[in-house]
Amino acid sequence: MRQSTFDFLGNLDTLLAVFIGAVLATGGALLAEIIQERTNRKRRERDAARFFGDILMSIDQILDFAFRSQDLGEKWGSITIRLFKTGLKEAEVYERNRERLFDISDMKLRGRIHSHFLTEIFPIEALIENCEEFTAIEHALGGDIKFSKKETEKSKARLLELQDAREAGLAALKSEHAKTDDLCKDMEKIAKVNFSALANKNNIQAPPPPPKDNDNLAH
């Protein structure tokens, strides 16, 4: 009986050791998985912040070129419109990758990023449409087709409306544009990079002027 008892206790010790070893192995594997998941989540968040910061700075520089072109040449000339269109195309990169916002854990920051993009994109689209309509009306009034006095007055009134609308749109765009630096600084804390330094290092050049056959977009 005593030998059986010792054998039982010995087997119990072995079983207990195996159980403890299994628990430790399972716990270690679970802990390693949690750490790996946390590391991957942080990496995705950092990459997303860098991605959106790069896009914001790129659009920011293109808009700077557009605003500068308004001071140097025709305020609503073909080069300015081309620059606004370039900025709009750059914003499409954001639209195609918008789901990556969810990799950023800060809900308020996600909302600010999305709101900022929308508040910049809408005025740019409106400015382009207004300028194209303005040009079309001007060409129609200056063309060979004769309009009645009433139609002419209506067209001129529409031109004034478009002028006011694009000036208001430009003011709204500049106001939102001024918020880009603060937004990028908040993203720098996550991205671990200095977006302003990267932008200066890349030294993005202004897009080339449009071909001469696009000169009819002037005004």
Q: pLDDT-based confidence at 163, cuts 50/70/90?
A: very high
| Phi and psi, residue 192, nearest 5° | 65, 30
Burial class (CB in 10 A: 0-12, 13-18, 19+), 217: middle
pLDDT in tens, 96-128: 999 999 999 999 999 999 999 999 999 999 999
Q: The dihedral of CA 198, 208, 62, 175: what is its sign?
A: positive
Q: What is the pLDDT of residue 198?
A: 54
DSSP string computed for 62-109: HHHHHHHHHHHS-TT-HHHHHHHHHHHHHHHHHHHTGGGGGG---HHH
Q: What mean pLDDT do residues 82-108 have?
A: 93
pLDDT in tens, 9-60: 455 566 666 667 666 667 666 666 666 667 788 999 999 999 999 999 999 9
Strand, helix or coil for residue 18: helix
Q: Measure the CA angle with vertex 69, ends 124 and 162; round to 5°.
A: 45
pLDDT in tens, 205-217: 544 544 444 444 4
